[in-house]
Structure 1
Amino acid sequence: MFQLDLKSRTSIYEQVVDNIKELILAGVLSAEEKLPSVRELSKTLTVNPNTIQKAYRELEYQGFIYTVAGLGTFVSKAVDKEVDVRRVGEVTEELRRGIRELGFLGLTQEQISMLLKDLLEERGDLR
């Protein structure tokens, strides 16, 4: 269910966040479904429990999950438009900073555009 790429340049915590978000958005994890405890998931993935706790905190902040003391962590009922709009704004700002940084590194607008196109094709999002 959860997969990590230990050779990736992406941190383990970010991989956990991305993995859980993908499972939720794909419908693999349903609303109100209980997630593994921090301890269970850290054992399964053989990572530090603090890493899983950090990922769960981030997912909770983004509105994908919620925690009930003594009961566990659950998928939110609605990964609603409000959450999506806020997150789109955050990601757009990150993208804006990244594009600006690529410009500082000397890439032209055309080179940046081709890079973005290549990244989209990698994901299969561009048809």
Structure 2
Amino acid sequence: MTQPFDTSKPIYRQLADRLYWKILRNELSAGDKLPSVRDTAVEFGLNPNTVSRTYSEMERDGVVETKRGQGTFVTQSEEALTELRERLKDTHIRQFVKEMEAMGFEAEDMINGIQKYIAEERDS
């Protein structure tokens, strides 16, 4: 079963994010065909119009390409995929920093905490 969607953010954007993660984890590779709108709607329990909007947004982002009569495919543009990876990295860093600042941490605290975490993960 898939995770429920957050009501504070448009569902089509959340679905796009989930598909972007699949692309970044290589569950969907460059040139791979995405499931049909209908199959994706069933998988996530969504209206097909929502999935169609998601695919359109992903195409506008340059991450997928629609080939008439064939389906929607992950772009083969390494530049577009690198840009996606950087954009998601920046988004998560920005979110992390805002949350840490809201808890009263300074930049030095964050950096030290990240370095400690990475060192501990390497040792385990």
| Unmatched segments (≥5 aa) in structure 2 | 95-105, 115-124
| Unmatched segments (≥5 aa) in structure 1 | 97-108, 118-127
Q: For residue 15 of structure 2, what is the aligned residue in structure 1? A: 16
- Report the AA paired with residue 24 of structure 2: L
The share of aligned pairs that are identical, in percent, is: 33
Q: For residue 57 of structure 2, what is the aligned residue in structure 1? A: 58
| SS of alignment partner, residue 12 of structure 2 | helix
Distance 2:33 2:83 in 1: 25
Aligned pairs (5 A) from 1:108-119: none
When the two chains are superposed, the root-mean-square deviation of aligned CA atoms in Å is 3.8
1:64 Cα deviation after fit: 1.0
Aligned residues of 1:4 and 1:16 also touching (Cα < 8 A): no
| SS of alignment partner, residue 21 of structure 2 | helix
User: Which has the larger displacement, 80-89 or 64-73?
Assistant: 80-89
Distance 2:84 2:33 in 1: 24
1:87 Cα deviation after fit: 8.9
Aligned residues of 1:34 and 1:73 also touching (Cα < 8 A): yes
Aligned residues of 2:64 and 2:73 also touching (Cα < 8 A): yes
Distance 1:44 1:7 in 2: 13
Distance 1:48 1:81 in 2: 32
1:4 Cα deviation after fit: 4.7
Aligned pairs (5 A) from 1:28-67: 28-67=27-66
